[in-house]
């Protein structure tokens, strides 16, 4: 065994950092892995983003197996080098048709799709107007692009309008999520678009939590708001949420997609999306097309569960799609609340700084259409029973 010289200890600060985070209730650790296969009847999973209940759909799983046989385990190279496969092209074409846009480009994740499109569309001297609650990947993209960043008040069209009116920048991109990932509220997309038009700004919509849930048959936020096909709107989405797979996608006008192919470094310098993931997402799009009722059912389940929790006096956000949150009094009480729910068979997400936009920790609940009334009642009972608000002062709803 090799003996290392540990003086000086270059990474001693890491232990201090972990200790500090632990004291503040903000340390993160991987939880115990879930049992496989998930005992769905005993365990109610509200912690994931499988909003259309497709991750284990037989046709989706079969598509993965067929793709592995046909294409192997990985793409073996970047799309522009050796990793391009027919399944990528089929997925892009069907996703574009499904969402009503001209073209699509798939990435290895939505995180990378966001980095890729923001850096392709903005540069030093550009302005990005970013909603204050926007996802970390969008902010990271803005920083990487070296653009000037203006944070607009959350969900506020007038805040965006004021920034646009005051800006001398020649190139502007307004960026928002469609359904915000933490509270599940909806951005005022049509009004934002009108403001963008007045100023000649582009609009980028992250539809990670809208695709598969919002609009007619889950065709996503652009389709739902009549913005699909607009020449100055682009969207990104995740293949790892409603589509039950892994990966990301850029959706929009043909010229923007062609530009992204050559200018998005997270596309250029990255092994192509695994063909198995592409095949799974493709199978999911086809299921959604055949079963458009899944989207509406997911929305209805979210509203019913949020309503039940609100009647119990919990501070619940109001879901526009299939995800919503319940505020906790503090980061450490949120962690304890989630842990108690888990030990009673209900898995919930636990969001603390820096994953929350406003410093307030929350439980985050994502639902899907197959959650029946009995499971919803049990989940609501467990969440309410373990609520830390029972002994604390409840905030106004």
Site map 172..191 versus ligand PLP, x via CB under 6 A: -----x---x----------
**Residue of 47, 119, 126, 137 interacting with ligand PLP (CB under 6 A):** 137
Which residue spans within 119-209 are E strands per DSSP?
Answer: 127-131, 148-152, 172-177, 202-206
Least Cβ distance, residue 114 to ligand PLP (angstroms) = 6
CB nearer ligand PLP, residue 248 or residue 275: 248
CB nearer ligand PLP, residue 223 or residue 386: 223
Extract the tokens encoding 169: 């920048």
Count of residues in contact with ligand PLP, rule CB under 6 A = 13
Decide if 257 contacts 228 (C-beta within 8 A): no
Which residue spans within 31-160 are E strands per DSSP?
Answer: 44-46, 103-107, 127-131, 148-152
CB nearer ligand PLP, residue 277 or residue 387: 277
Q: Report if residue 208 touches ligand PLP, rule: CB under 6 A.
A: yes
CB nearer ligand PLP, residue 360 or residue 364: 364
Rounded Cα distance, 130 and 206, in Å: 11
DSSP string, 257-321: HHHHHHH-HHHHTSBPPPHHHHHHHHHHHHHHHH-THHHHHHHHHHHHHHHHHHHTT--B---SS
Site map 238..257 versus ligand PLP, x via CB under 6 A: x-x-------x---------
Strands of the 202-206 sheet, one edge to the other: 103-107, 248-252, 233-238, 202-206, 172-177, 127-131, 148-152
Site residues for ligand PLP, window 66-125 (CB under 6 A)?
109-111, 114
Q: If 0-12 CB within 10 Å is exposed, 13-18 middle and 19+ buried, where does residue 176 land?
A: buried
Preceding amide of 354 cis, omega within 30: yes
Q: What is the DSSP letter of 216?
A: G
Least Cβ distance, residue 111 to ligand PLP (angstroms) = 4
Site residues for ligand PLP, window 221-240 (CB under 6 A)?
238, 240
Phi-psi region of 167 (alpha: psi -120 to 50; beta: other; left: phi over 0): beta
CB nearer ligand PLP, residue 240 or residue 329: 240
Least Cβ distance, residue 304 to ligand PLP (angstroms) = 23
Phi-psi region of 276 (alpha: psi -120 to 50; beta: other; left: phi over 0): alpha
Least Cβ distance, residue 209 to ligand PLP (angstroms) = 6
Rounded Cα distance, 364 and 327, in Å: 9
Rounded Cα distance, 137 and 158, in Å: 24
Least Cβ distance, residue 357 to ligand PLP (angstroms) = 12
Rounded Cα distance, 376 and 114, in Å: 34
Please, what is the Cα angle at 320 between 316 and 321, to 5 degrees? 105
CB nearer ligand PLP, residue 219 or residue 364: 364
CB nearer ligand PLP, residue 114 or residue 242: 114
Least Cβ distance, residue 277 to ligand PLP (angstroms) = 10
CB nearer ligand PLP, residue 83 or residue 184: 184
Least Cβ distance, residue 190 to ligand PLP (angstroms) = 20
Least Cβ distance, residue 355 to ligand PLP (angstroms) = 9
Main-chain dihedrals φ then ψ at residue 261, nearest 5 degrees:
-55, -40
CB nearer ligand PLP, residue 111 or residue 193: 111
Least Cβ distance, residue 216 to ligand PLP (angstroms) = 21
Q: Which residues bind ligand PLP (CB under 6 A)?
A: 109-111, 114, 135, 137, 177, 181, 206, 208, 238, 240, 248
């Amino acid at each position: 065994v090799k003996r290392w010289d540990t003086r000086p200890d270059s990474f001693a600060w890491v232990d201090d950092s972990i200790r500090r985070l632990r004291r503040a209730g903000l340390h993160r650790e991987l939880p115990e892995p879930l049992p496989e296969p998930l005992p769905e009847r005993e365990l109610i999973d509200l912690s994931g983003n499988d909003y259309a209940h497709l991750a284990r759909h037989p046709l989706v799983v079969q598509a993965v197996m067929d793709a592995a046989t046909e294409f192997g385990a990985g793409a073996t190279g970047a799309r522009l080098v050796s990793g391009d496969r027919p399944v990528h092209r089929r997925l892009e074409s069907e996703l574009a048709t499904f969402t009503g846009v001209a073209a699509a480009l798939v990435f290895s994740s939505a995180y990378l799709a966001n980095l890729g499109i923001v850096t392709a569309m903005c540069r030093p001297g550009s302005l990005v107007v970013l909603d204050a609650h926007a996802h970390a990947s969008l902010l990271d993209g803005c920083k990487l692009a070296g653009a000037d960043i203006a944070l607009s008040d959350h969900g506020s069209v007038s805040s965006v309008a004021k920034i646009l009116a005051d800006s001398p920048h020649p190139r502007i991109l307004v960026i928002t999520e469609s359904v915000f990932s933490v509270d599940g509220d909806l951005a005022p997309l049509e009004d934002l678009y009108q403001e963008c038009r007045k100023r000649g700004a582009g609009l980028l919509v992250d539809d990670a939590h809208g695709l598969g849930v919002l609009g007619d048959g889950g065709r996503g936020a652009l389709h739902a708001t009549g913005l699909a096909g607009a020449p100055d709107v682009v969207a990104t989405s995740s293949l790892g949420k409603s589509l039950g797979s892994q990966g990301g996608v850029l959706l929009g006008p043909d010229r923007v997609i062609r530009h992204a192919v050559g200018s998005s470094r997270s596309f250029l310098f990255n092994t192509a999306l695994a063909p198995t993931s592409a095949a799974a997402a493709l199978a999911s799009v086809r299921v959604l097309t055949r079963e458009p009722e899944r989207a509406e059912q997911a929305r209805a389940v979210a509203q019913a569960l949020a309503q039940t929790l609100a009647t119990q006096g919990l501070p619940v956000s109001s879901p526009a799609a299939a995800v919503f949150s319940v505020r906790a009094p503090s980061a450490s009480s949120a962690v304890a609340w989630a842990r108690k729910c888990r030990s009673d068979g209900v898995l919930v997400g636990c969001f603390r700084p820096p994953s929350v936009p406003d410093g307030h920790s929350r439980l985050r609940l994502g639902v899907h259409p197959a959650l029946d009334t009995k499971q919803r009642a049990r989940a609501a009972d467990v969440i309410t029973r373990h609520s830390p608000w029972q002994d604390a002062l409840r905030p106004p709803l």
